[in-house]
Amino acid sequence: MLGVFMGLDFFLFYVFWEVMLLPMYFLIGIWGGSRREYAAIKFFLYTLLGSVLMLIAILMLYFTSDLRALSEGQLVASHVVSPGLDAAARTAAVEAIRSASAPVHTFNLLALAEIGQLPDSPFAVARVWGWSLETLAFLLLLIGFVIKVPVVPVHTWLPDAHVEAPTPISMILAGVLLKLGGYGILRICYPICPGGGIALAWLVCGLGVVSMVYGAFAALAQKDFKRMVAYSSVSHMGYVMLGLGVWSAVAGTQYAWDAWAQGVNGAMFQMLAHGISSAGMFFMVGVLYDRVHHRNLEEFGGIFGRMPVYAGLAVTIFFAGLGLPGLCGFIGEVLVTLSSWKYSQTLAVISAFTVILTAAYILWAIQRVYLGAEYKGPHGDHLTPITRRELAIAVPLVILAIVFGVAPQTIFRTVTPTVNKQVKTLAEWTRVVHDARPANRGAIPAPALSGGSAGRFPADGVASTGVTP
């Protein structure tokens, strides 16, 4: 997993991405519940389908890429030519690339991004069945990533995998694995295929909102405690998608990139927050399951009386998942909802209303499990207070949930510079490159183009704009 987050080479990224699958299969398949094999293979199948589509996109991008189109500065910046070389060696290396007779293909993610944002990007020029390559590649990569996220049409592996997996594996799945999808979309889809990103922004946002609403309704309907938490994951990750997708820096908004940056920052935050709250919720379910060996929501009740410390921690975590102000779930959701207003007011309204649904299923679950007169289900005598070992896991999660909720700057301090830089670059790209293309000029009334040259934005390290709630 670390390899996926660190890989800057597309091929290596793919290898790590796949290597992650097999251990997960065995973790679920060996230590899972009664239908573990089914769940494990379903998880594997879905993700492999996604990664094969991704592989196809990678290959198509690789063979269309051409390093010769890049300037010396870009080659050095993307580490195709090592910046460690002295000037003469560097010039020679650049010259060797630029004077090659055949196209020089690359897997380097940074270089691919530079190529993708060129005015005459080969990805935008190449056509496959009438689609531009960047739109198609964006779509394929998007499918590969959203299966991991997961969003609604391809989410069905998630409840099965979560329900069958043992608690620690559920926590890993919710805490880390799902974030790979969001990371991939942000890191790979948008920079390399920005044209596809603009063309398909409606799809990304739409998927986000659909899974938000669907996940919430599905969570409402669940009888199984863990399944409910799993569907809440689907719903929460919908916010991430919406936040990533709001490409609002278009001509109509004078290329104001702050709203979009706000959305992306919110999505990043939501991913982290969800990693804490969702992992915590799974852990809380696991604690109960260890004692009474069932997860039927109807048969709980009165846990507050039997295990007061545990119930207090659990309710805090569930509130964090709900998005109560002051806890970590709130920040991401509010940023995303606010930012989507600029993109589409309908979507913003829907996503705001989803919060009510979220509150409904979480509060209802809390009421059924923790409140109530007394415990009704089997194995009631096993409901012993929380152990020290379990506390050692639960307390840090709760503390993090509160800390991130009260002082979100701890995260934004690291996240925002990178995000803002990318968003700004892409917003600038929209103005200078995308809207200048003849194919797009007719569709959107072009504003004054005289303001900027084709140069890059100066690097901006300060993180302040539009992200403080």
Q: Is 148 in the site for other proteins (CB under 8 A)?
A: no
My answer on whether omega of the bond before 150 falls inside 30° of 0, hence cis, is yes
Q: Is 55 in the site for other proteins (CB under 8 A)?
A: yes
Which residues are CB-contacts of 315 (< 8 A; sequence separation ≥ 6)?
A: 366, 370
Q: Is 14 in the site for other proteins (CB under 8 A)?
A: yes
Q: Which of 110, 205, 180, 145 is nearest to 421 (CA)?
A: 110
Amino acid at position 225, single letter: F
For other proteins, the binding residue among 63, 82, 298, 439 (CB under 8 A) is 63
* Binding region for other proteins (CB under 8 A) out of 44-52, 197-205, 328-336, 387-395: 44-52
Q: Of the two residues 60 and 249, which places its CB atom closer to other proteins in the complex?
A: 60
Q: Is 69 in the site for other proteins (CB under 8 A)?
A: no
Q: For residue 128, which phi and psi values (nearest 5 degrees)?
A: -125, 110
Q: Is 206 in the site for other proteins (CB under 8 A)?
A: no
Q: Which of 55, 343, 392, 32 is nearest to 208 (CA)?
A: 343
Q: Is 257 in the site for other proteins (CB under 8 A)?
A: no
Q: Of the two residues 41 and 324, which places its CB atom closer to other proteins in the complex?
A: 41
Q: Which of 366, 364, 368, 374 is nearest to 302 (CA)?
A: 374
* Binding region for other proteins (CB under 8 A) out of 59-67, 274-282, 296-304, 377-385: 59-67
Kindly report each contact of residues 213-221 with a partner whose C-beta sits within 8 Å and lies 24 or more positions away, as own/partner: 213/238, 213/350, 213/354, 213/357, 214/152, 215/152, 215/155, 216/354, 216/357, 216/358, 216/360, 216/361, 217/357, 219/361, 220/357, 220/360, 220/361, 220/364
Q: Is 128 in the site for other proteins (CB under 8 A)?
A: yes
What SS3 state is found at 165? Answer: coil
* Binding region for other proteins (CB under 8 A) out of 38-46, 159-167, 378-386, 393-401: 38-46
Q: Of the two residues 48 and 97, which places its CB atom closer to other proteins in the complex?
A: 48
For other proteins, the binding residue among 126, 143, 172, 363 (CB under 8 A) is 126
Question: What does the DSSP assignment read for 203-249?
Answer: HHHHHHHHHHHHHHHHHHH-SBHHHHHHHHHHHHHHHHHHHHH----
* Binding region for other proteins (CB under 8 A) out of 123-131, 258-266, 320-328, 368-376: 123-131
For other proteins, the binding residue among 8, 9, 18, 143 (CB under 8 A) is 18
Report in angstroms the alpha-carbon separations of 3 from 7, 9, 12, 15, 161.
Answer: 6, 10, 8, 9, 23
Q: Is 22 in the site for other proteins (CB under 8 A)?
A: yes
Q: Of the two residues 6 and 30, which places its CB atom closer to other proteins in the complex?
A: 30
Closest separation in Å from C-beta 387 to other proteins? 30
Q: For residue 33, which phi and psi values (nearest 5 degrees)?
A: -80, -155
Q: Of the two residues 64 and 316, which places its CB atom closer to other proteins in the complex?
A: 64
How far apart, in Å, do the first and last CA atoms of the chain sit?
A: 31
For other proteins, the binding residue among 1, 8, 59, 363 (CB under 8 A) is 59
For other proteins, the binding residue among 29, 196, 329, 408 (CB under 8 A) is 29
Q: Of the two residues 18 and 224, which places its CB atom closer to other proteins in the complex?
A: 18
For other proteins, the binding residue among 49, 93, 172, 402 (CB under 8 A) is 49
The burial class, CB within 10 Å (0-12 / 13-18 / 19+), for 413 is exposed
Q: Is 104 in the site for other proteins (CB under 8 A)?
A: no
Q: Which of 456, 426, 61, 38 is nearest to 249 (CA)?
A: 426
Q: Is 43 in the site for other proteins (CB under 8 A)?
A: no
Q: Where on the chain is the footprint of other proteins (CB under 8 A)?
A: 14-15, 18-19, 21-22, 25-26, 29-30, 36-37, 41, 44-45, 48-49, 52-53, 55-56, 59-60, 62-64, 102, 126, 128-129
